[in-house]
Structure 1
Protein backbone atom coordinates (compact mmCIF):
# COMPACT_ATOMS: atom_id res chain seq x y z
CA UNK A 1 0.00 0.00 0.00
CA UNK A 2 2.92 2.36 0.64
CA UNK A 3 5.93 1.22 -1.38
CA UNK A 4 4.24 0.89 -4.77
CA UNK A 5 2.65 4.38 -4.83
CA UNK A 6 5.91 6.00 -3.66
CA UNK A 7 8.01 4.23 -6.31
CA UNK A 8 5.36 4.86 -8.98
CA UNK A 9 5.79 8.59 -8.40
CA UNK A 10 9.42 8.44 -9.56
CA UNK A 11 9.23 5.60 -12.10
CA UNK A 12 6.06 3.89 -13.36
CA UNK A 13 3.77 1.23 -11.91
CA UNK A 14 5.43 -1.66 -13.78
CA UNK A 15 8.93 -0.74 -12.57
CA UNK A 16 7.60 -0.19 -9.04
CA UNK A 17 6.10 -3.69 -9.04
CA UNK A 18 9.33 -5.24 -10.35
CA UNK A 19 11.38 -3.52 -7.65
CA UNK A 20 9.05 -4.62 -4.85
CA UNK A 21 8.75 -8.28 -5.85
CA UNK A 22 11.57 -9.50 -3.59
CA UNK A 23 10.47 -7.40 -0.56
CA UNK A 24 6.87 -8.55 -0.99
CA UNK A 25 7.77 -12.23 -1.23
CA UNK A 26 10.11 -12.00 1.78
CA UNK A 27 7.51 -10.28 3.98
CA UNK A 28 4.69 -12.57 2.83
CA UNK A 29 6.71 -15.72 3.56
CA UNK A 30 7.79 -14.49 6.99
CA UNK A 31 4.26 -13.44 7.92
CA UNK A 32 2.80 -16.76 6.71
CA UNK A 33 4.96 -19.00 8.87
CA UNK A 34 4.68 -16.88 12.03
CA UNK A 35 2.06 -17.80 14.62
CA UNK A 36 2.18 -21.59 14.26
CA UNK A 37 -0.09 -24.12 12.50
CA UNK A 38 0.45 -22.33 9.22
CA UNK A 39 0.04 -25.58 7.27
CA UNK A 40 -3.57 -25.75 8.45
CA UNK A 41 -4.17 -22.32 6.94
CA UNK A 42 -2.51 -23.42 3.68
CA UNK A 43 -4.73 -26.51 3.43
CA UNK A 44 -7.86 -24.50 4.21
CA UNK A 45 -7.30 -21.54 1.92
CA UNK A 46 -5.25 -22.85 -1.01
CA UNK A 47 -8.27 -22.66 -3.40
CA UNK A 48 -8.56 -18.89 -2.82
CA UNK A 49 -4.80 -18.54 -3.29
CA UNK A 50 -5.08 -20.59 -6.50
CA UNK A 51 -7.59 -18.11 -7.93
CA UNK A 52 -5.27 -15.28 -6.92
CA UNK A 53 -2.51 -17.04 -8.87
CA UNK A 54 -4.68 -17.00 -12.00
CA UNK A 55 -5.66 -13.36 -11.49
CA UNK A 56 -2.08 -12.30 -10.86
CA UNK A 57 -0.83 -13.95 -14.06
CA UNK A 58 -3.60 -12.30 -16.11
CA UNK A 59 -3.04 -8.93 -14.44
CA UNK A 60 0.69 -9.06 -15.11
CA UNK A 61 0.10 -9.81 -18.79
CA UNK A 62 -2.30 -6.85 -19.01
CA UNK A 63 0.24 -4.59 -17.28
CA UNK A 64 3.01 -5.55 -19.70
CA UNK A 65 0.82 -5.18 -22.80
CA UNK A 66 -0.66 -1.75 -22.05
CA UNK A 67 0.52 1.83 -21.61
CA UNK A 68 1.71 2.07 -17.98
CA UNK A 69 0.35 5.58 -17.31
CA UNK A 70 -3.35 4.61 -16.79
CA UNK A 71 -2.28 2.20 -14.07
CA UNK A 72 -1.30 5.21 -11.94
CA UNK A 73 -5.00 6.12 -11.94
CA UNK A 74 -6.03 2.53 -11.15
CA UNK A 75 -3.48 2.41 -8.34
CA UNK A 76 -4.84 5.68 -6.91
CA UNK A 77 -8.40 4.31 -7.12
CA UNK A 78 -7.37 1.12 -5.31
CA UNK A 79 -5.69 3.11 -2.54
CA UNK A 80 -8.85 5.22 -2.17
CA UNK A 81 -10.85 1.98 -1.94
CA UNK A 82 -8.74 1.04 1.04
CA UNK A 83 -9.15 4.48 2.59
CA UNK A 84 -12.93 4.22 2.27
CA UNK A 85 -12.99 0.68 3.66
CA UNK A 86 -14.86 1.79 6.80
CA UNK A 87 -17.74 3.00 4.64
CA UNK A 88 -17.56 -0.14 2.49
CA UNK A 89 -17.92 -2.26 5.63
CA UNK A 90 -21.42 -0.85 6.04
CA UNK A 91 -22.45 -2.76 2.92
CA UNK A 92 -24.09 -6.10 3.69
CA UNK A 93 -21.43 -8.69 2.86
CA UNK A 94 -23.24 -11.62 4.55
CA UNK A 95 -23.44 -13.48 1.25
CA UNK A 96 -19.69 -14.08 1.51
CA UNK A 97 -20.18 -16.22 4.61
CA UNK A 98 -23.10 -18.05 2.99
CA UNK A 99 -21.14 -18.82 -0.19
CA UNK A 100 -17.46 -18.94 0.87
CA UNK A 101 -16.24 -21.00 -2.11
CA UNK A 102 -17.83 -18.90 -4.85
CA UNK A 103 -17.02 -15.60 -3.14
CA UNK A 104 -13.48 -16.85 -2.44
CA UNK A 105 -12.98 -17.56 -6.14
CA UNK A 106 -14.21 -14.08 -7.04
CA UNK A 107 -12.14 -12.36 -4.36
CA UNK A 108 -9.01 -14.31 -5.30
CA UNK A 109 -9.41 -13.57 -9.01
CA UNK A 110 -10.14 -9.86 -8.50
CA UNK A 111 -7.42 -9.50 -5.86
CA UNK A 112 -4.97 -11.17 -8.21
CA UNK A 113 -5.91 -8.89 -11.11
CA UNK A 114 -5.40 -5.82 -8.93
CA UNK A 115 -2.18 -7.27 -7.54
CA UNK A 116 -0.91 -8.05 -11.02
CA UNK A 117 -1.72 -4.64 -12.46
CA UNK A 118 -1.09 -2.22 -9.57
CA UNK A 119 0.38 -4.42 -6.79
CA UNK A 120 -2.49 -3.64 -4.38
CA UNK A 121 -4.92 -6.51 -3.98
CA UNK A 122 -5.20 -6.02 -0.22
CA UNK A 123 -8.57 -4.23 0.08
CA UNK A 124 -10.44 -6.99 -1.77
CA UNK A 125 -8.81 -9.78 0.21
CA UNK A 126 -9.35 -7.98 3.52
CA UNK A 127 -13.08 -7.61 2.85
CA UNK A 128 -13.37 -11.33 2.04
CA UNK A 129 -11.34 -12.73 4.94
CA UNK A 130 -12.75 -10.31 7.53
CA UNK A 131 -16.26 -11.41 6.60
CA UNK A 132 -15.26 -15.03 7.36
CA UNK A 133 -14.66 -13.98 11.00
CA UNK A 134 -11.24 -15.64 11.17
CA UNK A 135 -8.94 -15.54 14.19
CA UNK A 136 -6.30 -12.79 13.77
CA UNK A 137 -3.39 -15.22 13.28
CA UNK A 138 -5.34 -17.25 10.71
CA UNK A 139 -6.41 -14.05 8.94
CA UNK A 140 -2.78 -12.91 8.57
CA UNK A 141 -1.67 -16.35 7.37
CA UNK A 142 -4.50 -16.65 4.83
CA UNK A 143 -3.87 -13.23 3.32
CA UNK A 144 -0.12 -13.74 3.13
CA UNK A 145 -0.59 -17.17 1.55
CA UNK A 146 -2.62 -15.53 -1.23
CA UNK A 147 -0.12 -12.70 -1.64
CA UNK A 148 2.84 -15.10 -1.64
CA UNK A 149 1.35 -17.22 -4.40
CA UNK A 150 0.29 -14.12 -6.35
CA UNK A 151 3.69 -12.43 -6.12
CA UNK A 152 5.48 -15.68 -6.93
CA UNK A 153 3.35 -16.08 -10.04
CA UNK A 154 4.02 -12.49 -10.99
CA UNK A 155 7.77 -13.02 -10.64
CA UNK A 156 7.63 -16.15 -12.84
CA UNK A 157 5.51 -14.32 -15.45
CA UNK A 158 7.93 -11.39 -15.60
CA UNK A 159 10.87 -13.81 -15.85
CA UNK A 160 9.26 -15.73 -18.73
CA UNK A 161 8.69 -12.42 -20.52
CA UNK A 162 12.37 -11.56 -20.07
CA UNK A 163 11.70 -8.61 -17.76
CA UNK A 164 13.19 -9.96 -14.53
CA UNK A 165 16.92 -10.07 -15.23
CA UNK A 166 19.93 -10.45 -12.92
CA UNK A 167 20.46 -6.69 -12.58
CA UNK A 168 16.93 -6.13 -11.29
CA UNK A 169 17.25 -9.07 -8.90
CA UNK A 170 20.50 -7.67 -7.50
CA UNK A 171 18.73 -4.35 -6.97
CA UNK A 172 15.59 -5.81 -5.40
CA UNK A 173 17.20 -8.38 -3.06
CA UNK A 174 18.66 -5.71 -0.74
CA UNK A 175 15.20 -4.15 -0.72
CA UNK A 176 13.86 -7.50 0.49
CA UNK A 177 16.29 -7.48 3.41
CA UNK A 178 15.35 -3.88 4.15
CA UNK A 179 11.67 -4.83 4.11
CA UNK A 180 12.25 -7.57 6.71
CA UNK A 181 14.09 -5.07 8.91
CA UNK A 182 11.17 -2.68 8.46
CA UNK A 183 8.76 -5.49 9.38
CA UNK A 184 10.57 -6.09 12.65
CA UNK A 185 10.70 -2.36 13.29
CA UNK A 186 6.98 -2.11 12.64
CA UNK A 187 6.29 -4.88 15.15
CA UNK A 188 8.35 -2.98 17.74
CA UNK A 189 6.55 0.27 16.94
CA UNK A 190 3.14 -1.40 17.05
CA UNK A 191 3.52 -1.97 20.78
CA UNK A 192 4.40 1.69 21.45
CA UNK A 193 2.01 3.72 19.30
CA UNK A 194 -1.76 3.87 19.71
CA UNK A 195 -3.58 2.07 16.89
CA UNK A 196 -5.75 5.11 16.09
CA UNK A 197 -2.66 7.33 15.86
CA UNK A 198 -0.94 4.89 13.50
CA UNK A 199 -4.03 4.59 11.30
CA UNK A 200 -4.21 8.38 11.13
CA UNK A 201 -0.59 8.62 9.95
CA UNK A 202 -1.13 5.86 7.38
CA UNK A 203 -4.35 7.29 5.97
CA UNK A 204 -2.90 10.79 5.72
CA UNK A 205 0.11 9.53 3.78
CA UNK A 206 -2.05 7.40 1.47
CA UNK A 207 -4.37 10.32 0.67
CA UNK A 208 -1.35 12.44 -0.31
CA UNK A 209 0.08 9.63 -2.46
CA UNK A 210 -3.22 8.96 -4.23
CA UNK A 211 -3.61 12.67 -5.08
CA UNK A 212 -0.04 12.83 -6.41
CA UNK A 213 -0.65 9.74 -8.57
CA UNK A 214 -3.73 11.35 -10.12
CA UNK A 215 -1.74 14.54 -10.78
CA UNK A 216 1.02 12.54 -12.49
CA UNK A 217 -1.54 10.67 -14.57
CA UNK A 218 -3.08 13.96 -15.77
CA UNK A 219 0.33 15.52 -16.50
CA UNK A 220 1.35 12.50 -18.59
CA UNK A 221 -1.71 13.02 -20.78
CA UNK A 222 -0.31 16.32 -22.04
Structure 2
Protein backbone atom coordinates (compact mmCIF):
# COMPACT_ATOMS: atom_id res chain seq x y z
CA UNK A 1 0.00 0.00 0.00
CA UNK A 2 1.36 3.42 -0.97
CA UNK A 3 1.98 6.09 1.63
CA UNK A 4 -1.25 8.07 1.21
CA UNK A 5 -3.71 10.12 3.21
CA UNK A 6 -5.90 7.00 3.53
CA UNK A 7 -3.05 5.11 5.13
CA UNK A 8 -2.39 7.93 7.59
CA UNK A 9 -6.07 7.96 8.62
CA UNK A 10 -6.12 4.17 9.11
CA UNK A 11 -2.82 4.30 10.98
CA UNK A 12 -4.11 7.05 13.28
CA UNK A 13 -7.34 5.19 14.10
CA UNK A 14 -5.43 1.98 14.86
CA UNK A 15 -3.03 3.87 17.15
CA UNK A 16 -5.90 5.60 18.95
CA UNK A 17 -7.79 2.38 19.70
CA UNK A 18 -4.69 0.35 20.59
CA UNK A 19 -3.29 3.03 22.90
CA UNK A 20 -6.64 3.44 24.67
CA UNK A 21 -6.85 -0.31 25.33
CA UNK A 22 -3.24 -0.45 26.51
CA UNK A 23 -3.74 2.44 28.88
CA UNK A 24 -6.90 0.83 30.29
CA UNK A 25 -5.63 -2.71 30.97
CA UNK A 26 -1.85 -2.17 30.97
CA UNK A 27 -1.07 -4.14 27.80
CA UNK A 28 -2.44 -4.70 24.32
CA UNK A 29 -0.98 -1.96 22.10
CA UNK A 30 1.26 -4.16 19.91
CA UNK A 31 -1.18 -7.11 20.11
CA UNK A 32 -3.96 -4.99 18.61
CA UNK A 33 -2.02 -2.56 16.44
CA UNK A 34 0.24 -5.10 14.71
CA UNK A 35 -2.39 -7.44 13.21
CA UNK A 36 -4.70 -4.53 12.30
CA UNK A 37 -1.92 -2.61 10.56
CA UNK A 38 -0.71 -5.82 8.90
CA UNK A 39 -4.06 -5.98 7.09
CA UNK A 40 -3.05 -2.95 5.00
CA UNK A 41 0.67 -3.72 4.82
CA UNK A 42 2.95 -6.64 5.79
CA UNK A 43 3.91 -7.80 9.29
CA UNK A 44 7.47 -6.49 9.19
CA UNK A 45 6.36 -3.03 8.02
CA UNK A 46 3.62 -2.96 10.66
CA UNK A 47 6.18 -3.67 13.39
CA UNK A 48 8.49 -0.96 12.05
CA UNK A 49 5.74 1.69 12.04
CA UNK A 50 4.76 1.11 15.67
CA UNK A 51 8.27 0.48 17.05
CA UNK A 52 8.81 3.99 18.41
CA UNK A 53 5.23 4.41 19.77
CA UNK A 54 5.61 1.04 21.50
CA UNK A 55 8.76 2.15 23.33
CA UNK A 56 6.97 5.30 24.45
CA UNK A 57 3.92 3.37 25.67
CA UNK A 58 5.99 0.78 27.55
CA UNK A 59 7.83 3.52 29.45
CA UNK A 60 4.58 5.31 30.37
CA UNK A 61 2.96 2.06 31.52
CA UNK A 62 5.87 1.11 33.80
CA UNK A 63 6.26 4.62 35.22
CA UNK A 64 2.52 5.11 35.81
CA UNK A 65 2.48 2.19 38.27
CA UNK A 66 5.08 3.86 40.48
CA UNK A 67 8.40 2.60 41.94
CA UNK A 68 10.02 2.56 38.50
CA UNK A 69 13.55 1.73 39.71
CA UNK A 70 12.29 -1.07 41.97
CA UNK A 71 10.32 -2.57 39.09
CA UNK A 72 13.43 -2.61 36.89
CA UNK A 73 15.51 -4.22 39.64
CA UNK A 74 12.92 -6.92 40.25
CA UNK A 75 12.02 -7.86 36.68
CA UNK A 76 15.23 -7.19 34.73
CA UNK A 77 16.27 -10.91 34.69
CA UNK A 78 13.20 -12.00 32.72
CA UNK A 79 13.41 -8.79 30.64
CA UNK A 80 16.96 -9.69 29.57
CA UNK A 81 15.80 -13.20 28.64
CA UNK A 82 12.97 -11.66 26.62
CA UNK A 83 15.50 -9.40 24.90
CA UNK A 84 17.65 -12.40 23.91
CA UNK A 85 14.60 -14.21 22.59
CA UNK A 86 13.46 -11.09 20.73
CA UNK A 87 16.85 -10.85 19.02
CA UNK A 88 16.47 -14.44 17.80
CA UNK A 89 12.88 -13.91 16.66
CA UNK A 90 13.69 -10.64 14.88
CA UNK A 91 16.51 -12.24 12.91
CA UNK A 92 14.12 -14.95 11.75
CA UNK A 93 11.46 -12.35 10.85
CA UNK A 94 13.91 -10.39 8.73
CA UNK A 95 14.57 -13.43 6.55
CA UNK A 96 11.28 -15.36 6.66
CA UNK A 97 7.48 -15.22 7.12
CA UNK A 98 5.96 -15.22 10.60
CA UNK A 99 2.44 -16.48 9.71
CA UNK A 100 3.05 -19.94 11.19
CA UNK A 101 4.23 -18.43 14.45
CA UNK A 102 1.07 -16.33 14.72
CA UNK A 103 -0.98 -19.51 14.56
CA UNK A 104 1.29 -21.13 17.12
CA UNK A 105 0.76 -18.18 19.44
CA UNK A 106 -3.03 -18.38 19.03
CA UNK A 107 -2.99 -22.10 19.88
CA UNK A 108 -0.91 -21.45 23.01
CA UNK A 109 -3.46 -18.88 24.19
CA UNK A 110 -6.37 -21.25 23.57
CA UNK A 111 -4.52 -23.95 25.51
CA UNK A 112 -4.01 -21.62 28.46
CA UNK A 113 -7.68 -20.56 28.49
CA UNK A 114 -8.67 -24.25 28.38
CA UNK A 115 -6.45 -24.94 31.38
CA UNK A 116 -7.96 -22.00 33.25
CA UNK A 117 -11.51 -23.10 32.39
CA UNK A 118 -10.99 -26.53 33.98
CA UNK A 119 -8.85 -25.12 36.79
CA UNK A 120 -5.75 -27.09 35.83
CA UNK A 121 -2.86 -25.30 37.49
CA UNK A 122 0.71 -25.08 36.21
CA UNK A 123 2.27 -25.59 39.64
CA UNK A 124 5.72 -26.10 38.14
CA UNK A 125 5.85 -22.37 37.34
CA UNK A 126 5.75 -21.51 41.05
CA UNK A 127 7.77 -24.55 42.17
CA UNK A 128 10.58 -24.06 39.64
CA UNK A 129 10.76 -20.29 39.49
CA UNK A 130 14.12 -19.97 37.74
CA UNK A 131 13.35 -22.59 35.10
CA UNK A 132 9.90 -21.15 34.37
CA UNK A 133 11.35 -17.64 34.12
CA UNK A 134 13.94 -18.78 31.57
CA UNK A 135 11.39 -20.80 29.53
CA UNK A 136 8.71 -18.11 29.44
CA UNK A 137 11.18 -15.26 29.04
CA UNK A 138 12.88 -16.77 25.99
CA UNK A 139 9.65 -18.03 24.39
CA UNK A 140 7.94 -14.67 24.91
CA UNK A 141 10.93 -12.90 23.39
CA UNK A 142 11.12 -15.15 20.34
CA UNK A 143 7.39 -14.87 19.64
CA UNK A 144 7.58 -11.13 20.30
CA UNK A 145 10.40 -10.78 17.80
CA UNK A 146 8.44 -12.73 15.21
CA UNK A 147 4.95 -11.33 15.68
CA UNK A 148 5.27 -8.28 17.96
CA UNK A 149 2.91 -10.10 20.37
CA UNK A 150 4.85 -10.90 23.53
CA UNK A 151 2.38 -10.03 26.29
CA UNK A 152 0.19 -13.13 25.98
CA UNK A 153 2.98 -15.51 27.00
CA UNK A 154 4.15 -13.19 29.77
CA UNK A 155 0.63 -12.83 31.14
CA UNK A 156 0.30 -16.62 31.35
CA UNK A 157 3.53 -16.64 33.38
CA UNK A 158 2.42 -13.72 35.58
CA UNK A 159 -1.04 -15.09 36.34
CA UNK A 160 0.36 -18.50 37.30
CA UNK A 161 3.02 -16.76 39.41
CA UNK A 162 0.17 -15.00 41.25
CA UNK A 163 1.41 -11.53 40.36
CA UNK A 164 -0.76 -8.52 41.16
CA UNK A 165 -2.21 -6.21 38.51
CA UNK A 166 0.66 -3.77 39.09
CA UNK A 167 3.29 -6.51 38.77
CA UNK A 168 1.72 -7.87 35.58
CA UNK A 169 1.74 -4.43 33.97
CA UNK A 170 5.31 -3.60 34.98
CA UNK A 171 6.90 -6.96 34.17
CA UNK A 172 5.13 -7.28 30.81
CA UNK A 173 5.97 -3.77 29.69
CA UNK A 174 9.58 -4.01 30.88
CA UNK A 175 10.11 -7.24 28.91
CA UNK A 176 8.60 -5.68 25.81
CA UNK A 177 10.70 -2.54 26.31
CA UNK A 178 13.94 -4.55 26.38
CA UNK A 179 12.80 -6.66 23.45
CA UNK A 180 11.78 -3.65 21.40
CA UNK A 181 15.12 -1.91 21.95
CA UNK A 182 17.10 -4.85 20.55
CA UNK A 183 14.58 -5.25 17.73
CA UNK A 184 15.01 -1.61 16.69
CA UNK A 185 18.80 -2.00 16.81
CA UNK A 186 18.68 -5.06 14.54
CA UNK A 187 16.24 -3.45 12.10
CA UNK A 188 18.51 -0.38 11.97
CA UNK A 189 21.57 -2.53 11.23
CA UNK A 190 19.68 -4.17 8.37
CA UNK A 191 18.61 -0.75 7.01
CA UNK A 192 14.88 -1.37 7.48
CA UNK A 193 14.00 2.14 8.72
CA UNK A 194 13.33 4.90 6.19
CA UNK A 195 13.12 8.66 6.79
CA UNK A 196 9.40 8.61 5.94
CA UNK A 197 8.74 5.82 8.43
CA UNK A 198 10.65 7.52 11.25
CA UNK A 199 8.87 10.86 10.74
CA UNK A 200 5.47 9.17 10.73
CA UNK A 201 6.29 7.19 13.88
CA UNK A 202 7.41 10.21 15.86
CA UNK A 203 4.43 12.27 14.67
CA UNK A 204 2.06 9.56 15.90
CA UNK A 205 3.24 10.04 19.51
CA UNK A 206 0.70 12.86 19.98
CA UNK A 207 -2.22 10.49 19.36
CA UNK A 208 -0.62 7.81 21.51
CA UNK A 209 -0.09 10.18 24.45
CA UNK A 210 -3.68 11.47 24.47
CA UNK A 211 -5.19 7.96 24.16
CA UNK A 212 -2.89 6.55 26.86
CA UNK A 213 -3.82 9.38 29.23
CA UNK A 214 -7.54 8.62 28.84
CA UNK A 215 -6.91 4.88 29.21
CA UNK A 216 -4.91 5.32 32.41
CA UNK A 217 -7.78 7.27 33.96
CA UNK A 218 -10.15 4.38 33.19
CA UNK A 219 -7.70 1.73 34.44
CA UNK A 220 -7.75 2.95 38.05
CA UNK A 221 -11.45 2.14 38.28
CA UNK A 222 -11.04 -1.58 37.41
CA UNK A 223 -10.92 -3.97 40.47
CA UNK A 224 -8.26 -6.73 40.65
CA UNK A 225 -10.64 -9.64 39.95
CA UNK A 226 -12.41 -7.82 37.14
CA UNK A 227 -9.01 -6.98 35.68
CA UNK A 228 -8.06 -10.67 35.41
CA UNK A 229 -11.38 -11.47 33.72
CA UNK A 230 -10.78 -8.69 31.22
CA UNK A 231 -7.31 -10.12 30.49
CA UNK A 232 -8.76 -13.54 29.67
CA UNK A 233 -11.45 -12.06 27.42
CA UNK A 234 -8.87 -9.97 25.56
CA UNK A 235 -6.58 -13.00 25.18
CA UNK A 236 -9.45 -15.03 23.69
CA UNK A 237 -10.29 -12.25 21.21
CA UNK A 238 -6.64 -11.89 20.20
CA UNK A 239 -6.28 -15.66 19.68
CA UNK A 240 -9.39 -15.72 17.49
CA UNK A 241 -8.14 -12.77 15.45
CA UNK A 242 -4.67 -14.25 14.98
CA UNK A 243 -6.19 -17.56 13.85
CA UNK A 244 -8.49 -15.79 11.40
CA UNK A 245 -5.66 -13.65 10.01
CA UNK A 246 -3.42 -16.69 9.51
CA UNK A 247 -6.03 -18.91 7.85
CA UNK A 248 -7.72 -16.33 5.63
Are residues 1:72 and 2:105 paired?
A: no
Classify 1:197/1:92 alpha carbon distance in 2 versus 1 (closer, same or farther; 3 Å). closer
- Residue equivalent to 1:86: 113
Q: Is the 8 A contact 1:52 1:112 kept in 2?
A: yes
- Residue equivalent to 1:141: 170
SS at match of 2:51: helix
Q: Is the 8 A contact 2:109 2:239 kept in 1?
A: no
Classify 1:186/1:80 alpha carbon distance in 2 versus 1 (closer, same or farther; 3 Å). farther
Classify 1:201/1:93 alpha carbon distance in 2 versus 1 (closer, same or farther; 3 Å). closer
Distance 2:144 2:194 in 1: 21
Distance 1:172 1:180 in 2: 13
Unmatched tracts of structure 1, length 5 or more:
216-222
SS at match of 1:120: coil
- Residue equivalent to 1:39: 69
Q: Is the 8 A contact 2:113 2:236 kept in 1?
A: no
Residue 121 of structure 1 deviates from its aligned partner by: 1.2
Are residues 1:16 and 2:46 paired?
A: yes
Classify 1:208/1:126 alpha carbon distance in 2 versus 1 (closer, same or farther; 3 Å). closer
SS at match of 2:66: coil
- Residue equivalent to 1:29: 59
Which of the numbers 184, 207, 219 marks the counterpart of 2:240?
207
What is the 5 A alignment of 1:89-104? 89=116, 90-104=119-133
Classify 1:200/1:102 alpha carbon distance in 2 versus 1 (closer, same or farther; 3 Å). closer
The number of equivalent residue pairs is: 211
Residue 78 of structure 1 deviates from its aligned partner by: 2.2
Unmatched tracts of structure 2, length 5 or more:
1-30
Deviations 1:173-212 (A, max 9, x none): 22333223222233345549x8778976885576356414
Aligned-residue CA RMSD in angstroms? 2.6
What is the 5 A alignment of 1:155-194? 155-190=184-219, 191=221
Q: Is the 8 A contact 1:23 1:177 kept in 2?
A: no
TM-score of the superposed pair, with normalisation by structure 2 = 0.75
Distance 1:142 1:49 in 2: 8
Which of the numbers 18, 33, 43 marks the counterpart of 1:3?
33
What is the 5 A alignment of 1:39-58? 39-58=69-88
